[in-house]
Amino acid sequence: MPELPEVETVCRGLKPHLEGRRLVRVEARRPDLRVPLPDDFAGRLTGRRVESLGRRAKYILAHLDGGETMVVHLGMSGRMVIVADGAAAERSPHDHVLFETDQGCHVIFNDPRRFGLITLARTDALDRHRLFADMGPEPLGNAFSGALLAERFADRRAPIKAALLDQRLIAGLGNIYVCESLYLAEIAPTRPAGSLNAGECDRLARAVRDVLDRAIAAGGSSLRDYVQASGELGYFQHSFAVYGREGDPCPNCDCDGGVQRIVQSNRSTFYCATRQL
DNA sequence: ACGAGAACCTGTTTGC
DNA sequence: TGCAAACAGGTTCTCG
């Protein structure tokens, strides 16, 4: 389920186990992820120290000593599993990469669909890496605003739903939070992106920030319990206003239609046709 | 350049 | 109940 808030939550959960720790063992069990693991992946990582963990859009960044950064994307189904006592843990067939730290903690990258990726990049050239070079601004960054959205959406005829999913325009939003943001901003997902006026762009920017902030807060509050319970990071309980709620009453108006589901660029969109114009 | 659609892969849910 | 189809939170490629 990883969109920006989930990746942020995973990052925060990983920090206490990885930051400042040295990787004493790295095992690449299945290198054929969406982007194959780099040559000699395990060899290049073994013995390296994790200086700090960060996030860019939906990517986890582990900055290592020696000037390289490990870049992790969870795809659709990726998780990070933390196992304090690694020796006793069962291994799943989808455990593709395992990291063991100098404190004996195992961090396991598990991804059934293998849409995720792990790669290595020069830290001082991350911005120019092909994964990040064309990436838009962070929706939680200082530069994000209605004016920025207006500029990015100008002359775009694609539906606003599709524009918000385009990582080159804004980086980090996925299907769920785009639906939720448009609902909160009361903007129809079918509107051409370029048709939004300044007021609507302001409303949308505020809605995006609000939805993401609240999701991160929900993830953070569930993190403590969840890690202790199962070691899995990346999934947490969170309720949505419209996402996955086709046929339910709209939470904010008593319209006849309730929450509707349509398909835009092959993906489900949930919205209220009465409230969102 | 832009936008729509398919493809990638596997697991789970839905519908007949 | 059983099986096939539809569907899933992402990205990237092709085609018009």
CA distance A223 to A231: 10
Is residue A86 a contact partner of residue A106, using CB atoms and an 8 Å limit? Answer: yes
Output the pTM of the full model: 0.95
Buried b (16+ CB within 10 A) or exposed e, A19-39: eebbbeebebeeeebeeebee
User: Which amino acid, residue A114?
Assistant: R
Q: Would you say residue A193 has pLDDT above 60?
A: yes
Residue corresponding to tokens 């398909």: A263
Is residue A177 a contact partner of residue A3, using CB atoms and an 8 Å limit? Answer: yes
Q: Which nucleotide is nearest to A162 (CA to C1')?
A: B3
**Phi, psi torsion values for A245, nearest 5 degrees:** -115, 35
Q: Say how far A173 CA is from B2 C1', in Å.
A: 20
CA distance A272 to A277: 9
Q: Would you say residue A229 has pLDDT above 50?
A: no
Is residue A34 a contact partner of residue A241, using CB atoms and an 8 Å limit? Answer: no
**What pLDDT is recorded for position A255?**
86
- Percentage of chain A modeled with pLDDT above 70: 92
More confidently predicted of A219 and A261: A261
A115-157 confidence digits (pLDDT tens):
999 999 999 999 999 999 999 999 999 999 999 999 999 999 9
What is the biggest distance separating any 2 CA atoms in chain A, rounded to whole angstroms? Answer: 62
State whether the beta carbon of A1 lies below 7 angstroms from any atom of strand C: yes
Q: How confident is the model at residue A224 (pLDDT cuts 50, 70, 90)?
A: low
Q: Would you say residue A35 has pLDDT above 70?
A: yes
Alpha carbon distances (Å) from A168 to A4, A132, A235: 15, 9, 26
Q: Would you say residue A86 has pLDDT above 80?
A: no
**What pLDDT is recorded for position A43?**
97
**What pLDDT is recorded for position A85?**
75
Pick the catalytic residue: A48, A55, A56, A58? A58
Q: Which nucleotide is nearest to A75 (CA to C1')?
A: C10
DSSP letter assigned to residue A249? P
* Closest to A76 in 3D by CA, of A27, A7, A157: A7
CA distance A40 to A238: 39
Alpha carbon distances (Å) from A11 to A103, A132, A158, A230: 18, 18, 33, 17
Q: How far is C-alpha A258 from the chain's CA centre?
A: 28
Is A3 an annotated catalytic residue?
A: yes
